[in-house]
């Protein structure tokens, strides 16, 4: 689920909701199959606990009589009392055994986790200093691998991936002197990121030595995929360090963030979404860069931080930051932007995980095969200065959306009693007929148990009347109240026990035993029915509630995911669903048994001791007040507990994602402390909840003493006056001895059940209240729609939320079939929003978008998205095989898949990894960033869509590969309509037309040649500003 939530935009773009629903349901079915076994075993335990004492008793008496022995009241009640003693052990033993086994499984898993090898920096790095005092970093005869030990593969973060197990990084010798700028170049997947991971200690060092000066200070690390926390921009940059206004402002300036902060609604106090989802790729890269610079380390490692920014910004960062504020620091820069490396002190050329050559830029740059000449290419890329800023526009609006939403700061908490609709939802999830059947079987089970006790009492009374015998010397003192308490249904009081000197008639005994046996058999049947119906019903409810929750979450709007931390959603699918699966049925079972048990007990006691009603009425009011006070407190504590659990999940997930950065900057202690603080807050709620339970128990026990005393006095007075049936009086008294515990159990179980219903409430809240994408289909389009690829925007206006400015403000343009259109514009201009509008990620406020003259609002959402193709900027891969990531539906043959992999120059890499069935790892961590982008491009090549949207799909690949890919795109989509947002302007200079956006409006739409030659055009001015 964590992966699905992280890649939800990709799932919606590709209409993979059904595929991932099926995938989750497969895992869920496996979970439910095990849950089914457990619940049916529980049902057997419940049946044995409830029915066996009655069955054992009657079988014992029948056998005893049939063997010719004399059956007396003393023997009957003694035997029943002894059988009653077995109830608690019989009931507790399965639960104790089950709990012990569950604890052992959990402890074994934790133990296996603890036994994983830790990152041992002392053994990883060499303590022998270099002979040259200026050397700060030295690798000698070193071989590194992603594979063993397990710690490397377990703890690594996805930011620094390579093909683990398929490529080793071998560094014969590398020496870096203090204050130098080292550039690392090479084609995609050659091992650049692995080199940085080897320096930070994230790889397994097989041999050789690694020496780093000032190791304890750590590194300033900027990963290829920027890691951003769910916090304000300032908190992201400070990263735990104190605020120094002057230095902070300087860092913001050199990282080209000043203009962005002016545009954002709250400046650097703007809260960014989880994983920086509301920032553009370029903004995330610059925030991550600013964080590293502000840490003021001595060694800086940059993994292609300039890939997501345009040439103008890249030049600014290079001059002001890397060559400016960091000029005295040691810097290692991996990049594909060769035009900025001529100022490096040394370049390292890598290929297949090895350093091929090191030397000055003048030598190494000649060895790197770049298609255009550097100056021309640089000029072209400078033209793209427009482009990066453009991407920011919709994200900035989303930031405003987030900032203005209180949901980001605090999770909503329901208050007061759990609504009746929540109980109704659970009732319907179980099924109305099934729920009614469970209640009926419970009623019949309790009635048959009480009738069996009444029948036995009646039999004893008749024996006493006919024999007129004296009271038994088996006084109440000889039988512990606990024996009576746990006997089936309470059984008879010893007060009525008599010795019989006259042998019972054989016919009377057989008659009583036959009736008693029949009642016991009926009780056994009803008990079994109740136990297994309840188990089936709760499993059905768990399945239905999960399916409803999953279905609604996957249909939720993009805005919901942008403004809601993943941990908050995961909490619903983990903690709350576990409660619905396991804890709630267990407590609900006990609660219902207590309710019906109390009902039967009140009827029997009132029948046997009518005067007790006078005592029970005020006591009932007192019980009601206490339980009401306790329930309100306990319910709110449960809600607070659930809410305080979400930040733990969010923080832990965030920590795992940014583990490389956290460990490299030596911030692990702070993150451990932050986790402890969140855990402490959560445990505080749990502790107070347990304390409240003890508060309740003490008061109920004290009131219980009064109850038993009052009932005993009434019974004695009634017995002295010889009023009432002695058998019924004894039965009532034996019931009264257990009523206190039953009332206590009822309040406790009902309160726990109500707190458990909070989980149903939270699941139902998401299942019914989440903002949902419009799924309605007004018209049925043709199977080959769109057959031409004609796109038209008519006065399109779109705002992310009411009250925010329009991200698209009256956009009008037409793209003819087969046309290639490049889209550019400055920050906040609205170009990425056009893609979101085209895929209906957000609904339009006004206007309409036509594809082949069909209004897309009238087309079913799944139908629309499945007919379009997109290559998103974020190359998200899901855990699984290459095949599943390319073709999750299994529609294509292996030959087709290999063909597209060859076209994106990945076939050799994939073959080396093990073919189409090789695992890509979580979020594609077994592939480099550039390779992941190539996989996403391969997805698009498989599609037959007439319209393709490209959002800078090749930012992280080297320029030679980029040029080959652009050629592939031109050939494969020659007859398709292609809309391209580009950071490298050379990718759109051969477009048929260029569309220039500004402030949500289309300002120009013409051929690149016409716009370039027109000195008055915005496009021309953008190019000029880039060149300057």
pLDDT at 337: 77
How high is the mean pLDDT of the chain? 77
pLDDT tens-place string over residues 601-656: 888 877 777 777 787 788 788 888 888 888 788 878 877 888 888 888 888 888 88
pLDDT tens-place string over residues 499-540: 333 444 556 666 777 887 788 888 888 888 888 998 899 889
Q: By C-alpha distance, which of 914, 910, 916 is closest to 934?
A: 910
pLDDT at 840: 86
In this prediction, what percent of the chain has a pLDDT beyond 70? Answer: 80
In this prediction, what percent of the chain has a pLDDT beyond 90? Answer: 4
Regarding predicted confidence, which is higher, 554 or 130? 554
pLDDT tens-place string over residues 25-38: 888 888 888 888 88
Going by pLDDT thresholds of 50, 70 and 90, the confidence category of residue 88 is low
Residues 339-359: what's their mean pLDDT? 84
**Separation between Cα atoms, residue 218 and residue 295, nearest integer Å:** 10
pLDDT at 404: 40
pLDDT tens-place string over residues 930-954: 778 788 888 888 877 888 888 776 6
Q: By C-alpha distance, which of 764, 746, 749, 766 is closest to 541?
A: 764
pLDDT at 277: 63
Regarding predicted confidence, which is higher, 310 or 25? 25
Residues 127-132: what's their mean pLDDT? 75
Q: By C-alpha distance, which of 286, 306, 310 is closest to 384?
A: 310
Residues 560-568: what's their mean pLDDT? 77
Three-state DSSP class for 116?
A: coil
Regarding predicted confidence, which is higher, 851 or 83? 851
| Strongest mean pLDDT among 321-330, 415-424, 806-815, 858-867 | 321-330
Residues 422-429: what's their mean pLDDT? 87
- Decide yes or no: CATH 1.20.1560.10 for domain 2-85+419-769: yes
Going by pLDDT thresholds of 50, 70 and 90, the confidence category of residue 737 is low
Domain ranges of the chain: 2-85+419-769, 132-177+187-357
Residues 88-109: what's their mean pLDDT? 81
- Confidence check: pLDDT of 75 > 70: no
- Phi/psi of residue 533, nearest 5 degrees: -65, -40
**Separation between Cα atoms, residue 731 and residue 748, nearest integer Å:** 26
Q: What is the 3-state secondary structure (H, E, C) of 130-159?
A: CCCCCEEEEEEEEEEECCCCHHHHHHCCCC
pLDDT at 107: 93
Q: Burial code of 876-906, b = ≥16 C-beta within 10 A, e = fewer?
A: bbbebbbbbbbbbeeeeeeeebbebbebbbb
The CATH architecture one would assign to domain 132-177+187-357 is 3-Layer(aba) Sandwich (3.40)
CA distances from 317 to 103, 147, 255, 788 (A): 54, 35, 6, 44
Angle, in degrees to the nearest 10, between helices 1018-1027 and 374-383: 130
Lowest mean pLDDT among 342-346, 639-643, 777-781, 880-884: 777-781
CA distances from 200 to 119, 121, 126, 136, 215 (A): 11, 9, 13, 13, 10
pLDDT at 953: 66
- Confidence check: pLDDT of 393 > 50: no
pLDDT at 108: 92
- Confidence check: pLDDT of 680 > 90: yes
Instruction: Tell me which residue has tokens 């051969």.
Output: 990
pLDDT at 503: 46
Going by pLDDT thresholds of 50, 70 and 90, the confidence category of residue 407 is very low
């Amino acid at each position: 689920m964590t992966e699905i939530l992280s890649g939800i935009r990709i799932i919606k773009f590709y209409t993979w909701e059904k595929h991932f629903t099926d995938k989750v349901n497969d895992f869920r079915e496996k979970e439910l199959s095990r849950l089914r076994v457990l619940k049916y075993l529980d049902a057997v335990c419940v049946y044995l606990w409830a029915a066996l004492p009655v069955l054992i008793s009657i079988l014992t008496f029948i056998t005893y009589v049939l063997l010719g022995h004399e059956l007396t009241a003393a023997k009957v009640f003694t035997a029943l009392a002894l059988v009653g003693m077995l109830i608690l052990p019989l009931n507790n033993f399965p639960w104790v055994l089950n709990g012990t086994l569950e604890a052992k499984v959990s402890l074994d898993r934790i133990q296996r986790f603890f036994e994983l090898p830790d990152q041992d920096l002392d053994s990883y790095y060499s303590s022998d200093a270099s002979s040259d005092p200026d050397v700060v970093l030295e690798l000698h005869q070193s071989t590194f691998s992603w594979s063993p030990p397990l710690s490397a593969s377990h703890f690594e973060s996805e930011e620094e991936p390579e093909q683990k197990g398929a490529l080793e990084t071998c560094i014969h010798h590398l020496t870096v002197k203090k204050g130098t700028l080292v550039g690392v170049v090479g084609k995609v997947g050659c091992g650049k990121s692995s080199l940085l991971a080897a320096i930070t200690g994230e790889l397994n060092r097989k041999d050789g030595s690694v020496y780093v000066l000032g190791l304890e200070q750590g590194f300033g690390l900027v990963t290829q995929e920027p890691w951003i926390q769910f916090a304000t921009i300032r908190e992201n940059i400070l990263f735990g360090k104190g605020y120094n206004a002057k230095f902070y402002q300087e860092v913001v300036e050199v990282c080209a963030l000043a203009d962005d902060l002016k545009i954002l609604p709250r400046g650097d106090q703007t809260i960014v979404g989880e994983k920086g989802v509301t920032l553009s790729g370029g903004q995330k890269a610059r925030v991550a860069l600013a964080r590293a610079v502000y840490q003021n380390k001595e060694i800086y490692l940059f993994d292609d931080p300039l890939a997501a920014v345009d040439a103008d910004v890249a030049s600014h960062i290079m001059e002001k930051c890397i060559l400016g504020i960091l000029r005295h620091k040691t810097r290692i820069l991996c990049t594909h932007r060769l035009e900025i490396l001529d100022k490096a002190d040394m370049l390292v050329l890598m290929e297949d995980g090895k350093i091929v050559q090191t030397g000055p830029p003048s030598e190494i740059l000649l060895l790197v095969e770049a298609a255009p000449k550097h100056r021309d290419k640089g000029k072209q890329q400078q033209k793209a200065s427009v482009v990066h800023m453009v991407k920011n526009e919709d994200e900035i609006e989303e930031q405003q959306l987030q900032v203005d939403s209180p949901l980001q700061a605090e999770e909503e908490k329901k208050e007061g009693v759990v609504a009746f609709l929540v109980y109704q939802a659970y009732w319907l999830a179980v099924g109305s007929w099934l729920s009614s059947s469970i209640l009926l079987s419970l009623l019949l089970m309790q009635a048959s148990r009480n009738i069996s006790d009444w029948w036995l009492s009646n039999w004893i009374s008749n024996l006493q009347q006919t024999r007129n015998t004296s009271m038994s010397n088996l006084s109440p003192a000889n039988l512990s109240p606990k024996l009576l308490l746990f006997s089936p249904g309470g059984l008879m009081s010893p007060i009525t026990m008599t010795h019989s000197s006259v042998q019972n008639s054989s016919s009377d005994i057989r008659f009583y035993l036959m009736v008693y046996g029949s009642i016991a058999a009926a009780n056994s049947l009803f008990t079994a029915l109740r136990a297994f119906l309840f188990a089936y019903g709760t499993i059905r409810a768990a399945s239905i509630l999960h399916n409803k929750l999953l279905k609604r979450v996957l249909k939720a709007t993009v805005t919901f995911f942008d403004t809601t931390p993943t941990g908050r959603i995961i909490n619903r699918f983990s903690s709350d669903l576990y409660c619905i699966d396991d804890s709630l049925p267990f407590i609900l079972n006990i609660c219902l048994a207590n309710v019906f048990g109390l009902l039967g007990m009140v009827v029997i006691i009132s029948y046997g001791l009518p005067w007790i009603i006078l005592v029970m009425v005020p006591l009932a009011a007192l019980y009601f007040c206490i339980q009401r006070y306790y329930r309100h407190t306990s319910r709110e504590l449960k809600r607070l507990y659930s809410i305080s659990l979400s930040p733990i999940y969010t923080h832990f997930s965030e920590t795992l994602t940014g583990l490389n950065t956290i460990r490299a900057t030596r911030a692990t202690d702070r993150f451990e402390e932050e986790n402890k603080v969140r855990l402490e807050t959560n445990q505080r709620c749990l502790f107070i909840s347990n304390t409240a339970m003890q508060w309740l128990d003490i008061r109920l026990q004290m009131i219980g003493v009064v109850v038993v005393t009052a009932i005993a006095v009434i019974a004695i007075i009634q017995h002295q006056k010889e009023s009432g049936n002695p058998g019924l009086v004894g039965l009532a008294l034996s019931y009264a001895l257990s009523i206190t515990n039953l009332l206590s159990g009822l309040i406790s179980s009902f309160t726990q059940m109500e707190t458990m219903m909070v989980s149903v409430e939270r699941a139902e809240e998401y299942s019914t209240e989440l903002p949902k994408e419009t799924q309605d289909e007004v018209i049925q389009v043709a199977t080959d729609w769109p057959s031409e690829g004609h796109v038209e925007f008519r006065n399109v206006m779109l705002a992310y939320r009411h009250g925010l400015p329009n991200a698209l403000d009256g956009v009008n343009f037409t793209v003819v079939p087969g046309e290639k259109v490049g889209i550019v514009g400055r920050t906040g201009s609205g170009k990425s929003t056009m893609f979101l509008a085209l895929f209906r990620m957000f609904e339009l406020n006004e206007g309409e978008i036509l594809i082949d003259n069909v209004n897309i609002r009238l087309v079913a959402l799944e139908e629309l998205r499945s007919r379009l193709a997109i290559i998103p900027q974020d190359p998200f891969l899901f855990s699984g095989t290459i095949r599943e990531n390319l073709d999750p539906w299994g529609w294509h043959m292996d030959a087709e898949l290999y063909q597209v992999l060859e076209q994106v120059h990945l076939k050799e890499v994939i073959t080396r990894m093990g073919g189409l069935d090789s695992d890509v790892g979580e979020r594609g961590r077994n592939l480099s960033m550039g390779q992941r982008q190539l996989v996403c491009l391969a997805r698009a090549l498989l599609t037959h869509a007439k319209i393709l949207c490209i959002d800078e799909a090749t930012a992280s690949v080297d320029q030679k590969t980029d040029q080959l890919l652009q050629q592939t795109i031109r050939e494969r989509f020659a007859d398709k309509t292609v809309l391209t947002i580009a950071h490298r302007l050379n990718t759109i200079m051969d477009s048929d037309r260029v569309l220039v956006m500004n402030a949500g409006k289309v300002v120009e739409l013409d051929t690149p040649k016409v716009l370039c030659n027109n000195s008055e055009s915005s496009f021309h001015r953008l190019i000029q500003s880039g060149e300057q």
